[in-house]
A and B are shown apart, each in its own frame.
Chain A
Amino acid sequence: MSQQSQILTRRLDKDILEVFIGPQHPGSGHMRIILRVDGDIIVEAEPDIGFVHRTMEKLAEGREWVKNQPLFERMAILDAANCTLGYIMAIEKLLGIEPPPRAKYIRTILAELNRIASHLYGMGIFAILLGHSTMYMWFFGDREVFVELAERLTGQRLTHSFFWPGGVRRDLPSGFKDELEKGIKYFEKRLKEYEVMFLKNPVIRSRLEGVGYISRQKAAELGIVGPNIRASGIRHDVRIEEPYAAYPELDFEVPIYKEGDALARTLQRVDELRESLKILRQAVNRIPEGPILHERYLKMFTKVLKDVLETEKRVKLAPALFNLRPPKGEAYARVEAGRGEYFYYVVSDGQNKPYRVRVVSPSFRNSIVFKYVLPGHRVADLPAIYGSIDYFPPEADR
């Protein structure tokens, strides 16, 4: 048998056109969707992912435990805090420690800042896919508020590498509370403007209403996560199901929509933005005093390190912290990130490097939507569905 005959070929039905959307397409992102269209109607869609696969799980086995944090941030660089928090929590479970309450609150604040930034990023892309350039600029412009707040808190705009097994690396900076309040007030005003410009825009509504409908049952069958499943009427949110950080002490709701179409997913995200503002406000007001790192590590600090922590309110990185050796065992952690549930499963063999790290990212779970929801829609509905799912290829490919 010759080499060539092993290539899979497939005969197309008569009158079916095969269109490759991506990976070099202005509306595809780092992925390819193979569409088979009959006229203007999609009869078959195949999401072809993996164009930005970076073997992260394997790379993680070759680095010290905490050095994997900058690596995992690269999955969803715009949601860096949420997507690494799970890893840190899994390590903490292995180590058998809990961060002090103040650190939990700071984690929550950064996680929510990231959630807002992530939602705004996704919606900005969504807007430009629908051809709405103004909302694209507005979403991205207003995202800057939260990116800058995160920078004030962590020193980095996007890749914060802020969490530490047993705590966080910096205390709240002075004046952060007022700045956050200012940012929240500004954003609440802007949310009203979004409504006029985007959510109630007749053209946008006509593009979204009834498009990409995922029923409650279908959503459960496909196993999608995050705002997408909540927009189909299932209240699935790790922050409620398996509370972590400071979420159990905060008072917030998880909005859901029953419609399950692209419009519901959009409104869902906007409602979640509102809830995130609520959480931020509560967290920054209720934050308790105390240390920001677990006492086990504070004990190991030399005088210089303690001085830096006292005066500058930041944890200077001690070499001992890099050489963590969690006891043998395995642990998992779940975190609700902007796009849905992150699942981390780590195995330790007692060495200073993980034996195995398994990551299941929300975008990977959501990518199945393309295969089962696109058929039956028009080609022009592809951007509406793609954008409303808020699919982020680097996150799915890992």
Chain B
Amino acid sequence: MAIVERLVDLILWPPLFYYIIFPGLIFVMIFEIFLIWSERKIAGRVQMRYGPLEIAPRLAGAPQLLADLIRYALQEVIIPRTVDKLPFVIAPIAAFVIALMPLIVTPFSPTFLPVTTEGSILIAAALTTIPPLLLILAGWASNNKFSLVGSARESFLIATYEIIILLVIASMSFLYGTLDFLKAVEVQQALLWGILLNPIAAITYFVAVMMGTSRFPFEIAEAESEIVMGAFTEYSGIMFGLAMGISYARMFVYNIIFVLLFLGGWSPLGGIVTGNYILDSIILPGASVAIKAVLISLLMVFTRAVYGRYRIDHALKGGWGFWFIMALVSIGLSAAVVYLMEVF
């Protein structure tokens, strides 16, 4: 029995639990399975069809992605002779891992967080900017014209949405007067949810994240009918599966940040006190953060059913000509809110 206890101890050892189980890898995988399934189901409902059904019809085809992943895992990973092997192999793996890294500083409850730091917002924002660079690397290393075009598009888009996202995050930390997620959530609990304090920032962030994570109508860097699969055209097997997952993982992380900055973090369920430590400090607040993030993500993937795809110059024009200005306006609004709070 000692071994079992050891194993349980090991699994519940906070760093391991945090990185591997919740909200780390396993939770993100479950999230992706659920999200992609519901995306396809919702789109299917709108489009007069069933969506995934064949794998386990009783569960409405829910394990479809699992089956796809098994297939990907058993498929040969073809590495073309002409690619630059090291960056080609590293890019999607590193992009996926780094895409999840902001989770090390995003708290899921006042007590459940692995790294306590004053600058958690800054670290999270900084880490979210790295994966797109690896996508560009993947496209460059692939030695394929479509990959190259995809990378070029991605690099154009990065310049647009990253600045907007960082400006909006800056405006919110300005409003809360802190660079720490914990304090930001505390301020929201004391005052109002961020989405009500600064709605412009929330909308701008939402659109910029859609742009950043290749959601319709900004699915430009992977536009299938134009450039096949963008930067990932040459990938196959599990590498392709991983590459597909990157944008969902990034969307999840961005939406966790969205929940913490705009939707009051663990607000409704986090306040309940039952006396059970695990329930109070992990499950209830964690669930409220995760559920909100899932709902926001569902809203983002639903746009697939409504919109087509923008042309890159339209997206850039919209990004720089409208949303960038909105991001600046949101800073002004934050300043106004701070001023009003000082006055009253």
Residues of chain A whose beta carbon lies under 8 Å from any beta carbon of chain B: 17, 19, 25-27, 40, 127-134, 136-138, 141, 197, 201, 203-204, 206-207, 378-383
Q: Cβ of B257 < 8 Å from any Cβ of A?
A: no
Contact A27 to B48, CB < 8 A, known contacts A131-B216, A134-B43, A380-B312 = no
Within the complex, the shortest CB–CB distance from A201 to chain B, in Å, comes to 7
Within the complex, the shortest CB–CB distance from A208 to chain B, in Å, comes to 10
| Chain A, interface SS category | helix
Q: Cβ of B341 < 8 Å from any Cβ of A?
A: no
Choose from A25, A127, A133 the contact partner of B43 (Cβ within 8 Å).
Answer: A133
A197 contacts across to B, CB distance below 8 A: 306
Q: Cβ of B310 < 8 Å from any Cβ of A?
A: yes
Tell me which residues from 213 to 243 in chain B have a Cβ below 8 Å from any Cβ of chain A: 216-217, 219-220, 223-228
Q: Cβ of B71 < 8 Å from any Cβ of A?
A: no
Smallest Cβ-Cβ distance to A20: which chain B residue: B145
CB <8 Å contact, A204 and B311: no
18 A-B Cβ contacts within 8 A? A19-B145, A19-B146, A26-B224, A26-B228, A27-B224, A40-B312, A128-B225, A130-B225, A131-B224, A131-B225, A131-B308, A132-B307, A134-B46, A134-B47, A134-B306, A138-B48, A380-B313, A383-B226
Within the complex, the shortest CB–CB distance from B160 to chain A, in Å, comes to 15
B311 contacts across to A, CB distance below 8 A: 206-207, 378, 380-381
A27 contacts across to B, CB distance below 8 A: 224-226
Choose from B49, B217, B227, B313 the contact partner of A203 (Cβ within 8 Å).
Answer: B217
B145 contacts across to A, CB distance below 8 A: 17, 19
CB <8 Å contact, A26 and B304: no
Tell me which residues from 9 to 50 in chain B have a Cβ below 8 Å from any Cβ of chain A: 43, 46-49
A134 contacts across to B, CB distance below 8 A: 43, 46-47, 305-306
Contact A130 to B308, CB < 8 A, known contacts A206-B314, A380-B223 = yes
Q: Cβ of B85 < 8 Å from any Cβ of A?
A: no
CB <8 Å contact, A383 and B225: yes
CB <8 Å contact, B219 and A131: yes
Smallest Cβ-Cβ distance to B303: which chain A residue: A203
CB <8 Å contact, A137 and B48: yes
CB <8 Å contact, A138 and B47: yes
Tell me the bound Cα distance from A128 to B225 in angstroms. 8
A138 contacts across to B, CB distance below 8 A: 47-48
CB <8 Å contact, B48 and A141: yes
CB <8 Å contact, A203 and B307: yes
Tell me the bound Cα distance from A368 to B253 in angstroms. 48
Within the complex, the shortest CB–CB distance from A370 to chain B, in Å, comes to 15
A131 contacts across to B, CB distance below 8 A: 216-217, 219, 223-225, 307-309
| 8 tightest Cβ-Cβ pairs between the two chains A and B | A131-B309, A27-B225, A137-B47, A132-B308, A130-B308, A129-B225, A380-B311, A383-B225
Tell me the bound Cα distance from A206 to B317 in angstroms. 12
Choose from B146, B305, B313 the contact partner of A133 (Cβ within 8 Å).
Answer: B305
Taken residue by residue from 192 to 229, chain B's Cβ proximity to chain A (1 for < 8 Å, 0 otherwise) reads as 00000000000000000000000011011001111110
Tell me the bound Cα distance from A27 to B233 in angstroms. 14
Within the complex, the shortest CB–CB distance from B182 to chain A, in Å, comes to 39
Tell me the bound Cα distance from A382 to B309 in angstroms. 13
A381 contacts across to B, CB distance below 8 A: 311
Tell me the bound Cα distance from A17 to B144 in angstroms. 12
B48 contacts across to A, CB distance below 8 A: 137-138, 141
Tell me which of B46, B47, B308, B312 has the highest count of chain A C-beta atoms within 10 A of its own C-beta. Answer: B308
Within the complex, the shortest CB–CB distance from B281 to chain A, in Å, comes to 42
Q: Cβ of B149 < 8 Å from any Cβ of A?
A: yes
Within the complex, the shortest CB–CB distance from A138 to chain B, in Å, comes to 7
CB <8 Å contact, A130 and B226: no
Choose from B49, B224, B306, B310 the contact partner of A207 (Cβ within 8 Å).
Answer: B310
Taken residue by residue from 134 to 170, chain B's Cβ proximity to chain A (1 for < 8 Å, 0 otherwise) reads as 0000000000011001000000000000000000000
A378 contacts across to B, CB distance below 8 A: 311-313
Tell me which of A133, A136, A138 has the highest count of chain B C-beta atoms within 10 A of its own C-beta. Answer: A133
CB <8 Å contact, A133 and B225: no
CB <8 Å contact, A133 and B224: no
Smallest Cβ-Cβ distance to A142: which chain B residue: B48
Contacts beyond the supplied A134-B47, A383-B226: 12 A-B pairs with Cβ under 8 Å = A19-B146, A26-B225, A130-B309, A137-B49, A141-B48, A201-B308, A206-B310, A207-B308, A207-B310, A379-B226, A380-B226, A380-B311
Tell me the bound Cα distance from A131 to B226 in angstroms. 10
A129 contacts across to B, CB distance below 8 A: 225
B227 contacts across to A, CB distance below 8 A: 379
Within the complex, the shortest CB–CB distance from A140 to chain B, in Å, comes to 9
Within the complex, the shortest CB–CB distance from B215 to chain A, in Å, comes to 11
Choose from A141, A207, A379 the contact partner of B149 (Cβ within 8 Å).
Answer: A379
